[in-house]
Structure 1
Amino acid sequence: MKFLHSLDSIATPANGWAATTGALLSSVFHYFYGTNRQDILVVLFFMIALDWITGVSAAKKDLSYSSEYGLARIPRTLFIVALPAVGNLLDRVMGTPGFLFYGVTFALIYHTWTSLTANAHRAGWPMPKSVERLVSAEIKAKAERAERKEPRS
């Protein structure tokens, strides 16, 4: 009887809503991104988070950050997160086994890696010279964009 009494704290309306929401979001996630692709998507989402962190740090260091610029990054990030889903949906339509999904996702990971690495360089964080050479074009492009922005007062 004590066991059944302990279920009172588990079988609550809030837990029911949470379980329903989780089940629905999981289904939507698997529909758009496919099954068994969580690991590669975690890598992409983690890289995007690191890109935001390094970008904010770099912008604060060179005083190029503005709230308008930061807010403009939100639609760009949503677009980047949506592209692998589009690749997956096209794979399903064309019957290809993940060709577009993985191609798009790995290209986005590489692009985000170069961006976050260039941001880290601009922020003054240490990194190997070989990595700096590898992303030197992105470092130069970010420095030029930062110079065109007016510094904060």
Structure 2
Amino acid sequence: MKFVQSLDNVATPANGIAATTGAFLTPIFHYFYGTGRLDILIVLFFMIILDWITGISAAKKDFSYSSDYGISRIPRTLFLLALPALANLLDKVMGTPGFLFYGVTFGLIYHTWTSLTANAHRANWPMPKSIEKLVGSEIKAKAERAARKEQK
């Protein structure tokens, strides 16, 4: 009898809604991104989050942040998350199992890594000199963009 009573905490409307939502969204997720690709997408998502964090810190440090700039990051982030889905769909159409998906996803991870590293440099966070050299052009581009915003 205690077992049945303990199910009262599990069989709640909120849990039912969450389970139904998951059952509905999971096949959609697999259709757009493919199966067995959650790990690489989590890496991309985590890198984007780190890019946001370092970008906000850098902008606060050099006073280049504006609400317009922050709001424009939302469509950019949605675009970055949509590109692997598009690449996966193109792989399906062309019959190339994962070629475009992984190429696009790793390219986005590298691009986001250079961006977040340059942002961390602008925020004066500690970083090895070898890493700074690797992303030197991105650091320069971000510094120039921040300087242009200050002049406005």
Q: Pick the TM interval, shorter chain.
A: over 0.9
The equivalent of 1:77 in structure 2 is 77
- Alignment-derived partner of residue 97 in structure 2: 97
* Equivalent runs, 1:63-142 vs 2, <5 Å: 63-142=63-142
One-letter code of the match for 2:74? I
Deviations 1:4-33 (A, max 9, x none): 222122122221111000111211111110
TM-score w.r.t. the length of structure 1 is: 0.96
Displaced runs of 4+ in structure 1, greater than 6 A? none
Over the aligned positions, Cα root-mean-square deviation in angstroms equals 1.3
CA contact (8 A) 1:64 1:151 kept: no
2:64 maps to amino acid: S
1:24-74 residue CA offsets vs partner (Å, 9 max, x unmatched): 121111111000001100100000000000000000000000000000110
Mapped to 2, the partners of 1:101 and 1:66 lie a distance apart of: 34
Distance in 2 of aligned mates of 1:81 and 1:140: 26
CA apart distance, 1:151: 7.2
Distance 1:117 1:75 in 2: 21
Judge which range, 5-14 or 105-114, deviates more: 5-14
Aligned-pair CA distance for 1:75: 0.3
Mapped contact 1:44–1:105 kept (Cα < 8 A): yes
- Identical amino acids, percent of aligned pairs: 79
Counterpart residue identity of residue 46, structure 1: F
| Structure 2 alignment gaps of length 5 or more | none
Aligned length: 152
Structure 2 CA distance, aligned partners of 1:2 and 1:121? 58
**Where does the alignment leave 5 or more consecutive residues of structure 1 unmatched?**
none
TM-score by length of 2: 0.96
